[in-house]
Structures are given as C-alpha cells and as structure tokens.
C-alpha cells in the first residue's frame, strides 16, 4: 500500500504571516497534524528550516508528543538542527538542501559531493534510532551516493515532473527518469519515497514509477483544504493513491 505523509509546513506559513514571533496563533499546525492522522494519513512531515520561516522549534517538540503515526522531520545538515533531531528523535529524518533565498526547497541534495559529511550525520541519527532519507534528484550518481552514505530511504524529487507536467514529451521523460532511479534504488537496498510539487492532477501518473513506499505532499493538500476542509483534502488524495500497484 502506498502511504501518504502530509507536510504541514504551509499551515504554519499562514500562521506566521499574521502571528510571527508571538508564540501562538492560527491556524495551528499541531491541530492540523491531528486532523490529517484522523483522516487516514500515514504520517506527518514538517521542515524545520534554519530561518524558521514557518515551522518553529515548539511545533516540532509538540508534534513529537502528539503524532501517533510517523513523524518525518525535514532538515538541512546544520549542527543545531541535528542536535534537536537527536534530542527529539523523530521516526525519520529527511535530509534536504536549503538556501535562504528560495521560496521552497528547490533541487535535490548533492549527496555525491558531500558524502562524508552526510554519512557522518546519518550514522549519528541511526545510532539514536532515527531512520534517514536523502532528498535527491532522480539521478543515478546521487542514488548510488545515497546507498554509499548508508541511508535507509531516498525521497525522489518530483519537482521536474510537476514543472513539465503539461508538456507530454518532457513529462514522459521525467517519469522515465523517476522510474529508473526507483529501480536502481530498490536494487541497492534503498526504500523509495517521493515528493515535491505533487498534486491531485499529476499524482496518478506515478503509477509508472515502481517501488514507491510513501509520498510526501503538502502545498496541494493545504490549498485544497481552503475549499473543502483538511480532512476531505487528505481523503481525496488517499483515494487517488489507492490504485498504485508498486
């Protein structure tokens, strides 16, 4: 069964737009996490960025207390964030690249270029009982590097698929890249997640990508929730995932 992890970052984005720096406010990402789990989500994802633009430390601490499914902490390989992860012990950490100027995470992690540093952090997290995923482009060299670094998972960056979804030739090319990377990862003993830019229109095309374990989706679900409510938005996404054969 293909699993859904709901990224609640943009619930916090909306809160911070009005209540930044005040330690309270609405909408509450913690309540959003509860609603997602109650609607059937298999996990909750949150990205604690170095600039704290949306999710705050207090959110991660509270999420660790209340999430009963699977807490996925997205984070850069930054010392203070690593320290917090080792303290709070999310179920899984997804290592991502991070640039201050970007609106959202753009591009995959260059594991091949930072193999030693990432392998060292991966070992520290594994020693604390935390699984580790690397968020990477569907590129053979990066998949191989992720395996060498000892990750348990990779998360394939689906942003290029989303960007070129309306162009059939490029869409098919991106699906082929994702499928090849998923097969390679599976052969290397890695489990495969995917995310970035996935929505209600492009998600069904992932049936062409084998070996997927979990999709991490945030913006599309939060956007849909404006119209139909968060529980309904989560359930609609889950319905689209039911036919995946793996």
196 classed as catalytic: yes
- The CATH number of residue 112's host domain is 3.20.20.70
Task: Supply the pLDDT for residue 191.
Answer: 98
Selecting among 10, 42, 54, 74, the annotated active-site residue is 74
Identify the pLDDT of residue 104.
Answer: 52
What total of structural domains would you count in the chain? 1
The answer as to whether 131 is a domain residue is: yes
Average pLDDT over residues 19-39: 95
Q: Could you give the C-alpha distances from 32 to 6, 18, 43, 208, 229, in angstroms and in order?
A: 10, 17, 12, 31, 10
> What is the predicted pLDDT for the residue at 246?
81
Phi and psi based region of residue 219 (left: phi greater than 0; alpha: psi -120 to 50; beta: remaining): alpha
Exactly one of 42, 54, 157, 196 is catalytic; which is it? 196
126, pLDDT greater than 50? yes
Chain CA centroid to CA 193, Å: 8
Percentage of residues in the chain having pLDDT higher than 90:
93
Q: Is residue 70 part of a domain?
A: yes
Q: For residue range 95-118, what is the model confidence (pLDDT) as tens digits?
A: 999 765 544 555 799 999 999 999
Alpha helices in 97-164 (DSSP H): 115-127, 140-148, 159-163
Question: Could you tell me if residue 226 is inside a domain?
Answer: yes
pLDDT range class, residue 10, cuts 50, 70, 90: very high
Q: Share the mean pLDDT of the chain.
A: 95
**Residues spanned by the domain of 89:** 3-241
Q: In this model, does residue 37 exceed pLDDT 70?
A: yes
Residue 65 counted as domain residue: yes
Going by the DSSP 8-state scheme, the letter that residue 22 receives in this structure is S
d(CA 9, CA 55): 6
* Gap between the Cα atoms of 223 and 209, Å rounded: 25
Question: Is 74 considered catalytic here?
Answer: yes
246: in domain: no
pLDDT of residue 102: 47
Considering the candidates 42, 47, 54, 157, report the single residue annotated as catalytic. 47
Residue 211 annotated among the catalytic residues of the structure: no
List pLDDT tens digits, range 195-243.
Answer: 999 999 999 999 999 999 999 999 999 999 999 999 999 999 999 999 9
DSSP state of 198: -
**56 domain-assigned:** yes
- Predicted pLDDT of residue 106: 59
> 104 or 1: which carries more pLDDT confidence?
1
Instruction: Give mean pLDDT, residues 165-189.
Output: 97
Asked whether residue 87 is domain-assigned, the answer is: yes
């Amino acid at each position: 069964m293909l699993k859904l992890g709901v990224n609640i970052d943009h619930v916090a984005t909306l809160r911070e737009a009005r209540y930044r720096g005040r330690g309270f406010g609405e909408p509450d990402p913690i309540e959003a996490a509860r609603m997602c789990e109650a609607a059937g989500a298999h996990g909750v994802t949150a990205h604690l960025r170095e600039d704290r633009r949306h999710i705050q430390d207090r959110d991660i601490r509270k999420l660790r207390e209340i999430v009963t499914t699977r807490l996925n902490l997205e984070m850069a390989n930054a010392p203070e964030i690593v320290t917090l992860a080792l303290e709070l012990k999310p179920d899984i950490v997804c290592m991502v690249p991070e640039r201050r100027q970007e609106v959202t995470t753009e591009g995959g992690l260059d594991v091949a270029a930072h193999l030693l540093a990432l392998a060292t952090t991966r070992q520290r997290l594994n020693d604390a009982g935390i699984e580790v995923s690397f968020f990477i482009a569907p590129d053979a060299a990066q998949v191989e590097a992720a395996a060498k670094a000892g990750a348990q998972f990779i998360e394939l960056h689906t942003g290029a698929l989303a960007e070129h979804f309306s162009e059939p030739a490029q869409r098919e090319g991106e699906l082929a890249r994702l499928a090849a990377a998923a097969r390679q990862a599976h052969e290397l003993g890695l489990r495969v997640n995917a995310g970035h830019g996935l929505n209600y229109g492009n998600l069904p095309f992932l049936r062409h990508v084998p070996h997927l374990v979990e999709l991490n989706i945030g913006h599309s679900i939060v956007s849909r929730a404006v119209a139909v409510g968060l529980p309904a938005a989560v359930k609609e996404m889950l319905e689209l995932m039911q036919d995946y054969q793996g």
